[in-house]
Amino acid sequence: MAFLSDSVYRIRLDAMREIMRRDELKAIMLFDSDFIQFISNFNIDVEPWERPIVAVVPIDAEPFLILNALSKTHYQIRSKAGTTWISDVTFYSEYPQTGGVTLLNCVEAISSLLQRTNLTTGRIGTDSSSEWGGDIVRIHPQITLVHERQALRDIRRAKTPEELHLCRLGAELADWGQQQYRQAYRPGCLSQEVDYFVAQKLAVEAAHRFPGQQIDFRCGTRAGEASICPHGDGAATGARIDPGWPLINAIVIRVNGLYIENERTYLVEPVTDIQRNIYNVAARATAAGCAAAAAGNPVSAIHAAATQIIADAGLEKHLLHRTGHAMGIRHHDFPTDTGFNESPLRKGEVYSVEPGIYIPGVGGFRIDDTVIVDQEAEIITASDRHIEKMIIS
């Protein structure tokens, strides 16, 4: 099994309580789904802007949750399986006839629980400027909300050994998926057809490797002229693998709440010398960025090392984005300003390294590896990237 254990919960809880001690808080109130999942290990299944949910983490008592009734049976099943971390859960209902509290009175449910736990006065930290927090303060004006979003983001950066294990499992599955892509690509075939074929293969393989767990994945190909658009050209339906153009694919895997990604560039015959040269520059740039992901280097070193390779090749004007991003509970996690963040990289952080070169009329070139920060960076995606293995004929 690859579910996170209670030891990860205690590490995360201790980190939150350290923030409370430092900033003299009585509790932290979490409204964003990713922070709620961070402290509960529950895969959030509602949009909190539509159906508000909250986790309250007191400094001297066990956390409690308020969830929508839509999540009730889901939470009960996961709690019975032993994969959730918070046992004190209150559910409110959207429908008065089903019992509980109506959606319009959700804030009253939060208020009642704060009264029960003596949290209606003093300083309480929060992860956001949610309207629900403002409503709570109107009911309990002796509460002072303290915005702790940056501090809470900070404790999500370095991962525990258990979390890194999940990342490695995801990377292994993504590498397997790239093998399926390599075998499925043919000039002229529909790119979405290949994506769904590989997704189907991944679903079967994930069921074999991780039965009864939560493995999410996303597959996407940008072929032909669309390869020069980092997130596609908005017209993927009917797009085909065009001869003479590169294609960029992406496999994003999430294993029980932890993300990794693996992207490769394939070259479709006939391949020009210019395309070969640019591909090799992109591959060297990714390797340089990965090597820079060493503990103690500034976060921005990843971007700087990769883009220096591209600039030395005279291709800097064809960059459209930063080299990569952090990953964790979110696909794009914190820190988000990786191109110019000067804080030191920490052992256990997880980043994508994906410098891209996009040239109209020639194609897009992006090779993306997931890397774990250590004294020497650990690249956990290992699928082929040598140019001769990446040519489709």
pLDDT tens per residue across span 20-73: 999 999 999 999 999 999 999 999 999 888 888 999 999 999 999 999 989 999
Is 1 within the bounds of a domain? no
Same domain for 110 and 218, yes or no, is: no
| Residue that terminates a domain, selected from 154, 176, 208 | 154
Last residue of a domain, one of 102, 123, 154: 154
Tell me, what amino acid is at 137? V
Q: In angstroms, rounded to a whole number, what is the distance separating the alpha carbons of residues 165 and 263?
A: 20
Q: How far apart are CA 241 and CA 71, in angstroms?
A: 42
Give the whole-angstrom CA distance, residue 71 versus residue 62: 21
Calculated CA dihedral for residues 339, 227, 178, 319, nearest 10 degrees? -20
Residue 386 exposed, middle or buried by CB count within 10 Å (0-12, 13-18, 19+)? exposed
In this structure, the answer to whether residues 99 and 183 fall within a common structural domain is no
Q: Are 217 and 147 found together in one domain? A: no
3-state SS class at 151: helix
DSSP letter at 160 equals: P
Residues 6+ apart with CB under 8 A from 301: 292, 293, 345
Strand positions, DSSP E, 47-188 = 54-58, 64-68, 89-92, 122-126, 143-147
Asked if 286 contacts 390 with a C-beta cutoff of 8 angstroms, the reply is no
Query: pLDDT (tens digit, 9 = 90+) per residue, 80-111?
Result: 999 999 999 998 887 766 555 555 567 888 88
167 and 150 belong to one structural domain: no
**CA-to-CA separations, 261 to 172, 258, 350, 353, in angstroms, rounded:** 11, 11, 10, 9
> Are 33 and 95 members of one domain?
yes
Query: Strand pairing partners for 56?
Result: 29, 64
- Amino acid, single-letter form, for residue 216: D
Statement to judge: residues 193 and 145 lie in one domain:
no
What span, in angstroms and rounded, lies between the C-alpha atoms of 192 and 95?
Answer: 40
Across 269-353, the runs of DSSP E, i.e. the strands, are: 350-353
CATH of the domain at 280: 3.90.230.10
Q: Residues 6 or more apart from 124 whose CB is under 8 A from it?
A: 25, 26, 27, 28, 29, 143, 144, 145, 146
Contact 286, 387 (CB under 8 A): no
At 1 the pLDDT is 56
In this prediction the pTM is 0.94
Q: What is the pLDDT of residue 94?
A: 75
228 inside domain? yes
Pairwise CA distance, residues 147 & 159, whole Å? 23
In-domain check, residue 65:
yes
pLDDT at residue 391, as a whole number: 97
Helix%, strand%, coil% for the chain, nearest 5: 40, 20, 40
pLDDT per residue as tens, the chain (393 positions) = 578 999 999 999 999 999 999 999 999 999 999 999 999 999 999 988 888 899 999 999 999 999 998 999 999 999 999 999 999 999 888 776 655 555 556 788 888 889 999 999 999 999 986 777 888 899 999 999 999 999 999 999 999 999 999 999 999 999 999 999 999 999 999 999 999 999 999 999 999 999 999 999 999 999 999 999 999 999 999 999 999 999 999 999 999 999 999 999 999 999 999 999 999 999 999 999 999 999 999 999 999 999 999 999 999 999 999 999 999 999 999 998 999 999 999 999 999 999 999 999 999 999 999 999 999 999 999 999 999 999 999
Contact 381, 174 (CB under 8 A): yes
Same domain, 325 and 235: yes
What is residue 135's predicted lDDT score, i.e. its pLDDT? Answer: 87
- Residue 77 in tokens: 């099943």
Residues 60 and 28 in one domain: yes
For residue 133, the model assigns a pLDDT of 85
- Domain of 209? 161-392
Taking Cα atoms as reference points, which of 287, 276, 283 lies closest to residue 391? 276
Q: Are 323 and 306 in contact (CB under 8 A)?
A: yes
Structure-token pair, residue 134: 């403002």
Closest CA to 309 of 279, 335, 267: 279
- Mark whether 129 and 166 lie in a shared domain: no
The CATH number assigned to the domain holding 149 equals 3.40.350.10
- 376 close to 386: Cβ distance less than 8 angstroms: no
Same domain, residue pair 76 and 59: yes
Domain end, chosen from 154, 175, 205, is at 154
**8 A C-beta contact, residue 269 and residue 187:** yes
Number of domains in the chain: 2
Q: In terms of domains, do 112 and 204 share one?
A: no
> Are 337 and 366 part of one and the same domain?
yes
Alpha-carbon gap, residue 123 to 340, rounded angstroms:
33
